[in-house]
Amino acid sequence: MKLCIARLSLLAAALILAPSFHAVRAEPDETVIVALGDSLTAGYGLPQDQSFPAQLQAALAARGQTVRVVNAGVSGDTASAGLQRLDWAIPDDADAVIVELGANDALQGLPPDGTKTALAEIIERIQAKGLPVLLAGMESPRNMGKAYVESFGAIYPDLAKQYGVILHPFFLEGAALHDDLMLKDGIHPNGKGVAVIVETMMPKVEELLARTKTKAEG
């Protein structure tokens, strides 16, 4: 089972996403955050202006922040698939990265060790570029069994501790299990659900921006 009906090929995704990836900074003081993820980031089933990157950018603008949030979400991506496209997914002008991957791994019952290894390499390669990372965690469906659920759930706090990245424990916090905030599939948030996710994650995003500013001043 996947988070989307059909997964975009990497080539198709590159063609779709490339224009926004390489946009010139609108303003000299603009901060560029790349949201690297799957359909939860891409905005599956939603108008583009209701996607997570679009709503996060709007929320930051309302707080007086000059930030462009690049939508680097590809529906159906596992952590390994995200790793495979990492080189072209992070533009040269990126200042920080939000990593939201792993939901499809859990839905497919992929070994947690493989997911952790892929996420670790993603973090290492982003940090090698000198960019701060916000890691958005995911939880496994409870029907996968206690051992799997616990093993999968440990991935994100373990990586955050190992690499010193900012952790938002559960991307869908505040929206999951609320029918009025989710699409009919029960997996993806609707526009209102995304707004809740953005609001819930905002303190961590502001911490990410603070790290970006510190790095720039350093």
Q: What's the rounded mean pLDDT across residues 21-28?
A: 52
* Active site amino acids: 39, 185, 188
Closest CA to 29 of 212, 203, 204: 212
Q: How confident is the model at residue 21 (pLDDT cuts 50, 70, 90)?
A: very low
For the chain, the structural domain boundaries read 10-18+29-217
pTM passes above 0.85:
yes
| pLDDT > 60? residue 187 | yes
Per-residue confidence (pLDDT) for residue 11, from 0 to 100: 31
| pLDDT > 80? residue 206 | yes
CATH fold for the domain made of 10-18+29-217? Rossmann fold (3.40.50)
Closest CA to 91 of 68, 115, 65: 68
